[in-house]
Amino acid sequence: IVVLDFGSQYAQLIVRRAREQHVYSVLLPHDTPEEEVMALSPMGFILSGGPASVYEAGAPQLPPYVLKSGLPVLGICYGMQVLALSLGGKVLSSARREYGLAELYINDLDCPLWEGMPFSLPVWMSHGDVIAELPPGFQPLASTANSPVAAMGDPSRRVYGVQFHPEVVHTPHGKDIVHNFLY
């Protein structure tokens, strides 16, 4: 798994969580050239969070090869937002920022990302932007009181995004969510 770093303070932790699931992973900057990334023969991508807002001038963008590859993708926080924007969705500044613990309500327990999860679970949030419009073909997979789209996905393409941080211990089922994505 290639973890593309968009500036997250938790990027190394994402790599660790994948390795704890017995999946080799590598952390690379988001602007690593396609040839270098694809030479690793990745089986999927995880897009880290980051401090930028996707709609700001000069914000890091999703490399086109990620989607072109057809491989599974999991976007985390900023990674979800850059994924949504790249696929034709809309991201806006939230009227209310969301930091710390939040209760996540899962819309569809049949989604592979939620296998073995309860209907609701505590998650760690750290964001000021929201998905205002889903990309075509995507469905909302979970919400919080402040984020109507706290997770999104197109399971047929194996492309998912979560607004929260599954890699931190403050998200008790986070390891399970990472496992479900990887396997």
Catalytic residues: 77, 165, 167
- Please enumerate in sequence order all residues whose Cβ is within 8 A of that of 65, keeping only pairs 6 or more positions apart, or say none: 34, 37, 38
Give the N- to C-terminal CA distance of the chain in Å, as an integer.
11
Q: What is the DSSP string of 108-144?
A: -TTSGGGTT--SEEEEEEEEEEEEEEPPTT-EEEEE-
Q: How far is CA 59 from CA 39, 78, 105, 173, in A?
A: 26, 10, 30, 30
**Rounded to an integer, what distance in angstroms lies between the CA atom of residue 151 and that of residue 80?**
8
Q: Tokens at residue 108, please?
A: 């569809």
Q: How far is CA 155 from CA 16, 72, 117, 150, in A?
A: 25, 9, 17, 16
**Rounded to an integer, what distance in angstroms lies between the CA atom of residue 89 and that of residue 136?**
7
Distance of CA 29 to the CA centre of its chain: 16
